[in-house]
Amino acid sequence: MPGFESIIDQQKPIGILRALLEQSAVAHALLFTGIDGVGKQTTGRLFAMAVNCESYLENTNSRVSADSAPCGQCVSCRKIISGNHPDVLHIQPQGNLIRIDQIRALGRTLAMKPYEARYRVAMISDAHRMNPESANALLKMLEEPPEQTLLVLTASETSDLLPTVVSRCQRVRFNPISIPGICRELVSHCNLSPDVARVVAAMAGGSMGRAIAMSRSDWLERRNWLVRELAGLRQAPISVGLALAQRLAQDKDRLAESLEVMLSWFRDRLVRLYGSGKIINQDLISLPDWGSQNENPEMLLTKIRAVRAAEKAVAANANLRLTIEGLILRLSEN
């Protein structure tokens, strides 16, 4: 695993962490916030490596820059990279929750001295999934932090956690990754063409993790299929639209993804009326069914609102079949 330089577009949070290292001012608890897939987990592991890096610790008296940590080569770094370090722990949700038994077990471990590390590091992923009981159990640890222990919590937003937990952590905010940053990674490491990489990057919403998952799945083929279906709705009989609605509703695990594709498609057609600089699906712009320059912008706005309304209904656990059938009928209107 390389060092902090591998974390894309996160200069500010990485700068904060390096400053903590150089000042020997590591807080007992850090809270990394930001959307999924922007490097919070990887940064947590790198910071665990840095605070325990044997090469860096040996040279701190020589005022070696924190840019040199972690080295990735010492015994401690290699153990953390391989996931075999006894003093680096990882708590993840069991199902949808982090349960009180997990936090209590963590507390018993943290009450003991580290086996071999300078700092025992406990990473709690998706800390917003703690139920009230587990959050209060963690709060007791934060109020009386064990010596030689560093807690690293990750969450989407501080508002998802108990305010008392947030107040006892040093917060580090991670930003969505830029489209050019995601593009470069997809072209370099996922073997995507620049055109396809731009589309995936634009649809990934600033998440490198999501972009990589999309590049490795059949997302592009599914998008192309769905765009063809949408383009043919106005000329197709109602039975074809209802069949499409049934297929989309049955594949509920990918329904949110399908609705996002719909939004991008109608948004692109609206943007095209005023120029093509901000179009997401650039690779489809030359297709004959893209749409004409004479499209009614109000009708496109109506369809965009219909998709957004369907997204809200799905999020509110409305009946999927009825919601998507209603949406498809509205999208079929001329």
Q: What is the Cα–Cα distance from 97 to 100, expressed in whole angstroms?
A: 9
Q: What is the Cα–Cα distance from 41 to 95, expressed in whole angstroms?
A: 19
> Which amino acid, one-letter code, is at 81?
I
Q: What is the pTM of this model?
A: 0.84
Residues composing the chain: 334
One DSSP character per residue, 126-147 reads TGGGB-HHHHHHHHHHHHSPPT
Distances (CA, A) of 276 to 223, 293, 304: 20, 11, 18
pLDDT tens for each residue of the chain, 334 residues long: 668 888 999 999 999 999 998 888 888 999 999 999 999 999 999 999 999 998 877 665 544 455 667 988 999 999 999 999 999 999 999 988 999 999 999 999 999 999 999 999 999 999 999 999 999 999 999 998 888 899 999 999 999 899 999 999 999 999 999 999 999 999 998 888 888 899 999 999 999 999 999 998 889 899 999 998 998 888 889 999 999 999 999 999 899 999 999 999 999 888 888 876 678 888 887 665 565 566 789 999 999 999 999 999 999 999 999 999 999 999 988 7
Q: What is the Cα–Cα distance from 12 to 158, expressed in whole angstroms?
A: 18
DSSP 38: S
